[in-house]
Structure 1
Amino acid sequence: MQRVQRSPRSGFARGDGFCRRCPEARLMRCRSHGARPVADLKVRHCTFALMFDVRQKIGILGGGQLGKMLCQAAADWHLPVLVLDPTPDAPAASLCREFTVGDFRDYDTVWAFGQKADLLTVENGRVLSSGTPLYLTGRVLTARGVPIAGALVEIWQCDANAVYHHPAGGAVGQRDPHFQGYGTATTDAAGAFHFRTIEPVPYPGRTPHIHVRVSASGVPPLPTQLYLDGHPENARDFLYRQLDQTERAAVTLKLRPTQSTHPLAQATRLSAAVDLIVG
């Protein structure tokens, strides 16, 4: 597996600190073209990169034409993109922050690549995770409703074959090799986080659920699980039955058709949102 770190000239996304007209211009402003207001998310050059959360990296398995389009969409949100593809000159190679030459059919290669950002990497038409793609978003808030920026949100779940991707999670041969199983995100200034995953599925003894852990400065960590609204297995789940009505409402996901234009919402049919209260 070969990693290629792209130079500014080879396609950094908008908002990476370089003027799109003159890549040599460093952070904050370009002498030739001047600064542009950061509130304008459609600017083509001279944005203030530090005003955006560029820590959330999007991983794409496959750098074909769809991967290229996803890179272009992510650029509008000032999000860095990582691409894994076996072809060094793949269409998305010149548009991503970091391009890795590797075989996305190889489990170890995909696993190593997938540790960098999102739960389910965005793929080209040849690489699809099993299950129903789900865009999961939400906010991390204090008990008074104040957004918490910089909080770490971790999620993990079994794949569509009801197998967890850890040593005790089931037979390796039954794992979906295109599903990562675990992801992290850092909340932005509004306390928001975003994931692209799959609709959780049941396994013997448990109703469908997504594990969540929130870590933020100055407050105890919040471990919890998210459930699907109205799923018939909820009534038989030993953990769900212990929750009262208020607690259930706080951790229950209502699935709706995806309408968001966020890059991680691409190619998903369902979405869900949740507020996670810490402190």
Structure 2
Amino acid sequence: MPGPHTADRRQFLQYSAFAAAAFTTPGLLAEELSKTPRMTEGPFYPDKLPLDTDNDLLILNDDLTPAVGQITHLSGRVLDSSGHPVRNAVVEIWQVDGNGVYLHSRSGGNGERDKNFQGFGRFLTGKSGEYYFRTVKPVPYPGRTPHIHFAVNQNGKRQLTTQLFVDGEKQNARDGIYRRLGESSKLVTSKFAPLEGSKLNELEAEFDIVLGVTPEES
């Protein structure tokens, strides 16, 4: 008989398929889109990548114990400035765990690292530029408001490095990196809203990433 974590994993796979299906019809926009601001990579890009680098950061390989934190379904599209989807781009995310610790040997935070949290993930965009991750809602750590780091790569070249912030988070106003964005902050801020029908208090967030140029031309 399958256990609760098996069922949870099945729900993740079903949601992943649903999220991908939601982007099967690309919306080509007539007007040029506002480009996603470039931001610092920070000092805590993993100095040793985990063996598991898939898009489910809550479960490591076939372990049964999930990471601690509020489950968040994070999805969006990678687009060029004309609104065309960017396919075959590798989207990377990395963030602190529930204790405010990165997957990095020099990360401090508020305690020991959650060894059940993957801390880093990758997703290869499809024909509609879509990506999807299952992770936890980011938490603050000393000096920073909650955020998730993003990088977009194609053909082995980094196209963009940025960060995603939580809409309505009080610490945003005190975060130096966030404040320097000014009006552009709205381009990297998303609502982490309750997932309809979830019995696990899950959240969902959407974040479209707009590159400055079409990667094939850069």
Q: Is the TM value for this pair above 0.5?
A: yes
Note the residue ranges of structure 2 that are not aligned, 5 or more in a row: 19-48, 214-218
Which position in structure 2 is the counterpart of 1:275?
A: 208
Q: Encode CA deviations 1:229-248: one digit per residue, 9 max, x unaligned.
A: 11111111010010021x11
Greater Cα shift, 207-216 or 115-124: 115-124
Correspondence for 2:150 among 205, 212, 221:
212
Which position in structure 2 is the counterpart of 1:114?
A: 52
Matched, 1:74 2:7: no
Task: After TM superposition, list the pairs within 5 Å mapping 1:63-102 onto structure 2.
Answer: 64-66=2-4, 68-69=6-7, 70-71=9-10, 74=13, 77=17
Which position in structure 2 is the counterpart of 1:12?
A: none
User: Counterparts of 1:123 and 1:131 in 2: how far apart (Å)?
Assistant: 18
**Native 8 Å contact 2:5 2:64 kept in 1:** no
Higher relative contact order (CA 8 A, sep 6+): 2
User: Counterparts of 1:112 and 1:241 in 2: how far apart (Å)?
Assistant: 32
**Native 8 Å contact 1:256 1:271 kept in 2:** yes
Alpha carbons of structure 1 residues 122 and 196: separation in structure 2 relative to 1, 3 Å: farther
Which position in structure 1 is the counterpart of 2:123?
A: 185
What SS class does the counterpart of residue 161 from structure 1 fall into?
Answer: coil
Matched, 1:225 2:163: yes
Which amino acid in structure 2 is aligned with residue 270 of structure 1?
Answer: L
| 1:139 CA displacement | 0.4
What SS class does the counterpart of residue 126 from structure 2 fall into?
Answer: coil
User: Counterparts of 1:242 and 1:130 in 2: how far apart (Å)?
Assistant: 31
Correspondence for 1:251 among 188, 193, 204:
188
TM-score normalised to the size of structure 1? 0.56
Task: After TM superposition, list the pairs within 5 Å mapping 1:39-188 onto structure 2.
Answer: 64-66=2-4, 68-69=6-7, 70-71=9-10, 74=13, 77=17, 113-121=51-59, 127-170=65-108, 174-188=112-126
Which position in structure 2 is the counterpart of 1:237?
A: 175
Greater Cα shift, 247-256 or 113-122: 113-122
User: Highest Rg: 1 or 2?
Assistant: 1
**RMSD, aligned α-carbons:** 3.4
User: Counterparts of 1:191 and 1:273 in 2: how far apart (Å)?
Assistant: 13
Q: Encode CA deviations 1:109-146: one digit per residue, 9 max, x unaligned.
A: xx855234432228999623111111100100000110
What is the aligned-residue identity percentage? 39
User: Counterparts of 2:11 and 2:169 in 1: how far apart (Å)?
Assistant: 37
Which amino acid in structure 1 is aligned with residue 203 of structure 2?
Answer: L
Which amino acid in structure 2 is aligned with residue 166 of structure 1?
Answer: H
Q: Encode CA deviations 1:215-262: one digit per residue, 9 max, x unaligned.
A: 1359861100000111111111010010021x11110011112249xx
**Native 8 Å contact 2:163 2:188 kept in 1:** yes
| 1:66 CA displacement | 3.9
Matched, 1:202 2:140: yes
**Native 8 Å contact 1:134 1:268 kept in 2:** no
Note the residue ranges of structure 1 that are not aligned, 5 or more in a row: 1-62, 79-110
Q: How many residues align?
A: 180
**Native 8 Å contact 2:89 2:124 kept in 1:** yes
**Native 8 Å contact 2:79 2:86 kept in 1:** yes
TM-score normalised to the size of structure 2? 0.71
